[in-house]
Chains A and B, each alone.
Chain A
Amino acid sequence: DAGVIQSPRHEVTEMGQEVTLRCKPISGHDYLFWYRQTMMRGLELLIYFNNNVPIDDSGMPEDRFSAKMPNASFSTLKIQPSEPRDSAVYFCASSFSPREQYFGPGTRLTVT
């Protein structure tokens, strides 16, 4: 299997612009998680889906963040408008049952 696929790997954007991060989970996995990693706060869970349905979005920082999972093989995390404090590495992870999560390579986001 190709593993979890994320795109883009790097994104540099200006403050105020919309950013869309993409994730393709491992085929057959029914859970999908979005994380954010920073030096200050470590790995933070933003939101997770089960069978394409958002289950817990309490980690989403604010209304500027939104996530969708239109089908079992695709999810997006959108930030609109982006701010410099959103700069971080964003990871997508998937799992079969809520146990062993497998992470993608991440998207390094820089907002200037």
Chain B
Amino acid sequence: GQQLNQSPQSMFIQEGEDVSMNCTSSSIFNTWLWYKQDPGEGPVLLIALYKAGELTSNGRLTAQFGITRKDSFLNISASIPSDVGIYFCAGQYTGNQFYFGTGTSLTVIP
């Protein structure tokens, strides 16, 4: 199946710091989604991207659809303790199926 490489695997940062993570694929994608999952809960949709080069914000979160259409980036500014969780990227290139990355585990140290 489609491989999505998400990095970094985990991050430990101080509260207030900015966070950057990315996702790359071997195929060109038409849609990128970013999700956050809290322990014991389902993934929650954060941002959806539909065009190459698109930059979309949701509060302190900003995501970009890479120009090559093979990558996407998520930035979190001024992190707070409730940002803790696992962040997943998901990409769609054909049909209706989305492929998920392996996740980035974020820990915010107060």
Contact = CB atoms under 8 A, between A and B. Distances in A.
Interface residues of B, number: 22
Contact of B42 (A55, A100, A104): A104
Interface stretch (A11-19, A40-48, A61-69): A40-48
A87 interface: no
A84 interface: no
A106 B88 contact: no
A56 B101 CA distance: 20
Interface of B: 31, 33, 35, 40-45, 48, 50, 88, 90, 92, 95-98, 100-103
Interface of A: 4, 31, 42-43, 45, 48, 50, 55-56, 91, 93, 98-106, 108
Given A99-B92, A102-B45, A103-B43, 18 more contacts: A4-B42, A42-B100, A42-B101, A43-B43, A43-B88, A43-B100, A45-B98, A50-B96, A56-B97, A91-B43, A98-B92, A99-B31, A99-B48, A101-B33, A103-B35, A103-B42, A103-B44, A105-B42
